[in-house]
Structure 1
Amino acid sequence: MIGDSVRLKTAALLVLLGLLTMLAGIGQLTFWAPAETVTASTPGDTKASPLTVIDQELIARHDGPVKIKIQGEGNFIVATGRPGDVDAWVGNTAHTTVKGVSEDQKSLEVESADGEPTAPSPVGSDLWVNTEDASGELDYTWNPPAEGEWSLLVASDGTQPAPSSISMTFPNNATTPWAVPLIVLGIIIILVGAALPFVAKAISNRRHDDDTHGGGEGQTTALPVTPADDAAKRRGAGAEGSTLRISAVAAATVAVLVGGTAVAAHATTTPSPSASASAGDDAARPVMLESQLQRILEQVASTVDAADAAKDAAKLAPRVDKMELEVRTQNYKIRSAVSAYEARMPVRATKLQSSVISTKTDWPRTVFALTQGDGNVVPQVLTLVQLSPRENYKLWGTAPLQPGTNFPSFPVPRDGTAPVSADDKTGLAYSGNEALGILGEMLTTPDSPNRSKLADGQSSPYIAGALTYQADTVKNGTSANFKFSHTPVNNQTVVLRTADGGALVVGRLNFAFEGTPKAAGDKLILEDDSAVFAGGKETTTGMVLNFAESVAIYIPPAGSSDPMRLVAATRGLVGASFK
């Protein structure tokens, strides 16, 4: 009886110990569980700088949304951009970088860099995918706008200190690694405690049976061992088999205790978000999202519309440069003197039909866009170039699509494409400079030996029309000699590869139209538009008219038997003079 009492007390203690152990594990998953989120803030003595950068590794290190609270004086913005773009825009300006979280997850780690005391205002920069405007305080939920890595730039106007009082609330990555093991261990202890009286009684009964059937003193009775008995003895002696059976029961019980979900009691390794992002960023990405391009096109179109309406070239400066600036400036001069002169084709962004975006991360950067809208019966190819990080994209050229030409008749890459140097023909039938040279030669010399390299005639109405106009002018010029030349301007040539291995080259030709009287007393009469630049309408010594030609040519890949195709072209009068 004393033995039974001890066994019962021992069993009760084991059950109690098991319950306490199991409850400790459950507590770590419930009322002792760590908070779902953790908030970390920048130190109060963080150095003030004109710019504050929130590093991509910080906002990408936690799964789920990150809530950011920013406090500062006056107005400020939070801009989202690729890490390289943010770094390039910051440049040599003094700045503060929020780059990590302390081990106790209560403080944000910051790093200050000395440099130039001010920067231009980042408001309106084309580098940003989006911006948040605020005054005094901003509660901001970070969600990546697209795949890849992103950083945030916080700034006022570039001259005043940027807000540096920042707190970030992350999903808590703290774990409870002992929760499940404690629950499993508690269940095992409970099962052992509950089974102890029955096991002890069975052993006692077995011993009693042995004593009862053991025979007299000095006698030994050998009992036959059956295969089943032998297996049972092996199972009883093998601790591993017994443990496996108990663990199976325990796992089933755990599934019930923690809400019907079996929890694996082992560690799993999850790749860090930053590591995953880095792997994805090995591939080249377009330098802008389509939403950025659409916003830029709308701003360009608005700028051009305002300048066209006012005939004021100064209004073009923020968004127009190179050939397009020259052509529109001269167009305004002519229209101011000759009311009937036709305006330049407007720029429209309401319908973005296609685009070719560079993946080149350094500068200059180039984008081709095919757009159409009110006032543009024919879609036109727009060439946009960004010369440096702190400059916005500017319109370098516009050219209407050739009749019967479908811009994506060659594969247009949707995920960005690599730029090509204008003199590089690697993988191409011709380099960009060669393509422009062949076009210029064909327009200048009708019987050019290279004319088979570029589709002409009905395939290119612009080429056919130019050659016909020049031939008719010579034929009808009984009192004057005429000469024509189309010369490439190589420093305005941009080339982007197409998905089929070919390329699209956009550039400028200078078209010079010279006329000289054949005999003394012969006169050349200029049209009203040319007279605006020449300063008169008649000359007996000769004249030169200058046009800028904007062209886009498709170059097939190396080894192709197809000729090049003129995709888009136009010209504008930019000058005239007497000899």
Structure 2
Amino acid sequence: MRFVLAIAAFLVAAVMIGLGIAERTVFLGPDRATASVQLEDPTAFVVLDGDALGAYDGKQTIEVSGGSPVFVSYGREADVEAWLGDLVYTSLEVDDEGELVSSIVDPTQVEEEEPDAGETAAPTETPRATPEATAPAEDAAAAEPGPSPVGSDLWLEEFTGETAVARTLDLPEGIAVLIATDGTQPAPADISVTWPLDNSTPWAGPLIVLGGLFFLAGLVLLALGFIQHRRGRGPRRRSTDPGTKRSKLPTGPRPKSLPSGRRSIGRSRTAVGAIVLVPLLALTGCSAEYWPDFGDGNGSTPTPTLAPEERAADAAEEAEIAPPAVTEPQLELIMARIAENAATADETLDEQLAARRFAGPALTARKTNYAIRKQLPDQSGPVAVSAGPLEVVLPQQSTEWPRSVFVVAKNGDDPTVPQTAMMLVQDDPRSNYHVVYAMSMAPAAQFPDVAPATVGAPKVSDDNKGVLAPPVQVSPDYADILTSGDASQFWPLFQTDGDQLVAKYGTAGQQQTQAESDATVTVSFATKGGTGATYALGTVDAGALVVGTVEQTEKAVPNEGGTVAFQEGGPRAALSGFTNASAKGVQHTTGLQVLYYVPGVGSDEQIRVLGWAESLIAASEVP
């Protein structure tokens, strides 16, 4: 019976081991899926949308060649579409056979299409739904070249190469890839996307191991069978016939010890088992692909690269709010570019270079500072702009333009150097973000609670009545308390204790300046809300962060028969170019960029100044 069981065990072992090995050899599926296309006459831009990138699970390896240079970037689908605007482009999709197929998309034709009576108009914001697949390729190639996509702030990341680009990415749903050269030439023609496939064989390991165990069991049963068979034979009886006489055989030399046949058989069987099992165990133990996954069983996959952005988009969709204008990694890249631009422009005093990344009051302050420093090199520079680390990141919740982002960045490790608060604005999809306000944070400023960068903040309208003062009115109201002091009707709205701007530019500061002036000169002040645009973003307590400008003009007019002039070698004379004494008088204007916190209606808090920047923005003779 043991021999029968041993044979059965050997058969089961052979089947199980054979199946286990077959799973890793003849039955093993592919470990990757590749979709590729070679475009005959590509347009200047090619788009791989989220559906194409998500054709298979896992990371995407994108390989692009056939152009020079090669540019590849990725960003949110809506941002990519907005950047392309009315440009003709090639859309790539994955067909049922797993290959990339191309179609030409002309957004202008989609927008001009009018539905027949009784039909529903196709949404113009998704031109890929009605691609001009039959458009002649030569017409697409003849389309006007577009702008260069290199360096756009809309991209989450971009890559360039001389003749080819190959990158492995982990892009979630809602992300599209833009492929181009420089916007003026046809895009690279050879494009492929590769995804990893799960070809693990979780039962190969168990089958091989169990087969090995059955093989061992067969060896044990076989050995037990031989032992039982030997014992069953027993000793043979001698013949008792007296008439038979047996001859005596010659004997040879007696060996010192007799070999044990049983032990020899045992050792040989052990060796055979070891020879068979060691390779099998080594084979099954070398990779997790041979074994079932005994994890949490929830089917979770590794966290994708852009998980925070994806979670923010999901949260925004559930709450029916717009996603944040930028992601935090995207903003870090933008700030690095801005900081590099600012450092070079501040060193070379290049106004045109500064204008590439600055606008509004921040650009005005830099232009006047450069003009002064060209004549007075020892004058201090404008408010420093640093790449970070970023202490506060508050993007606007928006899918439209213009968009704004509020940032607070540290300037080095020195705690005595104030942090810089900035308001960044992007006017349209093809414009980069510009610093419109750049201010130093006030000492010990009590900053309000704001939403995380993955959620963002809603824009607060200029005339919003839900805050203590409408944002557009905050700077004029603040200018009024600088002019009238505690006699201003707006005085109770503002926290003036410890406000350094009130101390310097308010009534007390003005009186001190008048007292220190020459008796032959009459000094007067005019303070008003500035011309800079107001921007406001909501805080978590229903308040708002508001930035605006205040301008104070100081006029010095000589008494009858006298003259007055700017201080020789001073910044006002350098900016105005007026160095003579004037009987009319002289005047200069100081521009204040101010960051306010405006509480919501019903709060017991007051409006307070969180930061500011002051700069000389004009100087001249009195007209």
TM-score bin (small chain)? 0.7 to 0.9
Match of 1:162 among 171, 174, 187: 187
Amino acid at match of 2:170: N
Deviation at 1:500, TM superposition (A): 2.0
- Residue 14 of structure 1 corresponds to none
Amino acid at match of 1:113: V
Match of 2:524 among 483, 490, 498: 483
Deviation at 1:143, TM superposition (A): 1.0
Amino acid at match of 1:368: F
Q: CA offsets, 1:366-392, max 9 Å, x none?
A: 112112225981112122111111111
| SS of residue paired to 1:353 | strand
- Residue 41 of structure 1 corresponds to 36
1:149 lines up with 2:186 in the alignment: no
1:545 lines up with 2:588 in the alignment: yes
1:564 lines up with 2:607 in the alignment: yes
Q: Quote the sequence identity (%).
A: 26
Aligned pairs for 1:299-378 (under 5 A) are: 299-374=337-412, 377-378=417-418
Deviation at 1:338, TM superposition (A): 2.9
Q: CA offsets, 1:467-508, max 9 Å, x none?
A: 232121234454343332332235521111112221101122
- Residue 161 of structure 2 corresponds to 134
Q: Distance in 1 between matches of 2:290 and 2:145?
A: 58
Q: Distance in 2 between matches of 1:279 and 1:377?
A: 39
Q: CA offsets, 1:150-197, max 9 Å, x none?
A: 111111100111113212223459999xx9xxxxxxxxxxxxxxxxxx
- Residue 433 of structure 1 corresponds to 472
Name the CA shift for 1:565/1:413 in 2 (closer, same or farther; >3 Å): farther
| SS of residue paired to 2:610 | strand
Q: Report how many residues are paired.
A: 469
Question: In the alignment, is the contact (CA less than 8 A) between 2:325 and 2:405 conserved in 1?
Answer: no
Q: CA offsets, 1:222-270, max 9 Å, x none?
A: xxxxxxxxxxxxxxxxxxxxxxxxxxxxxxxxxxxx98979xxxxx9x9
Question: In the alignment, is the contact (CA less than 8 A) between 1:514 and 1:543 conserved in 2?
Answer: yes
Q: CA offsets, 1:272-323, max 9 Å, x none?
A: x9xx998566154322222222222222222222222222222212212221
- Residue 317 of structure 2 corresponds to 282
Deviation at 1:32, TM superposition (A): 4.7
Name the CA shift for 1:357/1:148 in 2 (closer, same or farther; >3 Å): farther
- Residue 531 of structure 1 corresponds to 573
Deviation at 1:27, TM superposition (A): 8.4
Q: Distance in 2 between matches of 1:451 and 1:363?
A: 36
Q: Distance in 2 between matches of 1:333 and 1:510?
A: 19
Name the CA shift for 1:295/1:261 in 2 (closer, same or farther; >3 Å): closer
Kindly report the root-mean-square deviation, in angstroms, between the aligned alpha carbons of the 2 structures.
3.7
Aligned pairs for 1:219-234 (under 5 A) are: none
Deviation at 1:95, TM superposition (A): 0.9
Name the stretch that deviates more: 468-477 or 361-370.
468-477
Deviation at 1:553, TM superposition (A): 0.3
- Residue 62 of structure 2 corresponds to 68
Aligned pairs for 1:441-480 (under 5 A) are: 441-446=480-485, 447-458=487-498, 460-467=499-506, 468-477=508-517, 478-480=519-521
Moved over 6 A (4+): 26-30, 173-176, 258-262
Q: Distance in 1 between matches of 2:48 and 2:316?
A: 19
Q: Distance in 2 between matches of 1:45 and 1:531?
A: 64
- Residue 86 of structure 2 corresponds to 92
Name the CA shift for 1:437/1:416 in 2 (closer, same or farther; >3 Å): farther
Q: Distance in 1 between matches of 2:393 and 2:147?
A: 30
Question: In the alignment, is the contact (CA less than 8 A) between 1:457 and 1:464 conserved in 2?
Answer: no
- Residue 494 of structure 1 corresponds to 535
- Residue 111 of structure 1 corresponds to 103
Name the CA shift for 1:576/1:515 in 2 (closer, same or farther; >3 Å): same
Amino acid at match of 1:282: E
Question: TM-score if structure 2 supplies the norm length?
Answer: 0.68
- Residue 120 of structure 1 corresponds to 147
Q: Distance in 2 between matches of 1:34 and 1:565?
A: 66
Q: Which has the higher strand share?
A: 1
Deviation at 1:523, TM superposition (A): 2.7
Name the stretch that deviates more: 308-317 or 534-543.
534-543
